[in-house]
Chains A and B, each alone.
Chain A
Amino acid sequence: SAVISQKPSRDICQRGTSLTIQCQVDSQVTMMFWYRQQPGQSLTLIATANQGSEATYESGFVIDKFPISRPNLTFSTLTVSNMSPEDSSIYLCSGCRVGSTEAFFGQGTRLTVV
């Protein structure tokens, strides 16, 4: 298994600013994903973080708004840029290994934009 440490756990930010969320895994995982959960909604995939290359974004999400880095197999960041109150959500990272259906999750970041 693997343990993912996600931080910050929560933050309150001013509109127009940016926040970077980090996920550190205690062992190598092949794939990492970033999700958003808007209030009262289910988790939605933002993008797949690819090691050493640009992330693969889902429909409705763009790199300028949600830049993602994945410099190695144990670390990834998601930045929420130029925030507005509509970005207030829980953001969650997860990881898994190719060929395995086991999935690991971070603790989530509860973001409030005022």
Chain B
Amino acid sequence: KNEVEQSPQNLTAQEGEFITINCSYSVGISALHWLQQHPGGGIVSLFMLSSGKKKHGRLIATINIQEKHSSLHITASHPRDSAVYICAPFQGAQKLVFGQGTRLTINP
């Protein structure tokens, strides 16, 4: 079993739809990152969570430490949101463990 499981692996939606990406992990963590990877490979950290919920624009991230589960939501999705979204909890010694990513495609 992978230490980090994301679902779905691929998601295609229409512009304007509400998007949810889920992440379950088995490693013990102090915090978790949600990352966005662009086609060239570059990565941007969207959120760093250690508890509760964070919101940034149309993006919302939640985490339940006890259940070892986190979700990323996108409201009013737009084609420019198309990217790979990666869940990455800290394993310890500030090392990140990465999920396989969710490839999101938003059609106009």
Contacts and interface: CB of A to CB of B under 8 A. Distances in A.
A90 B100 CA distance: 14
B45 A92 contact: no
Interface string A61-98: 00000000000000000000000000000101010101
Interface of chain B, main secondary structure = strand
A37 B98 CA distance: 10
Interface string B76-91: 0000000000101010
Interface size class of B (residues with CB under 8 A): 20 to 34
B41 A108 contact: yes
Contacts of A92: 41, 43
Interface size class of A (residues with CB under 8 A): 20 to 34
Contact of A101 (B40, B42, B90, B99): B90
Contacts of B27: none
Contacts of B96: 33, 43, 45, 94, 103
Interface stretch (B13-21, B28-36, B58-66): B28-36
B90 A42 contact: no
Interface of A: 6, 9-10, 31, 33, 35, 37, 41-45, 48, 90, 92, 94, 96, 98, 101-110
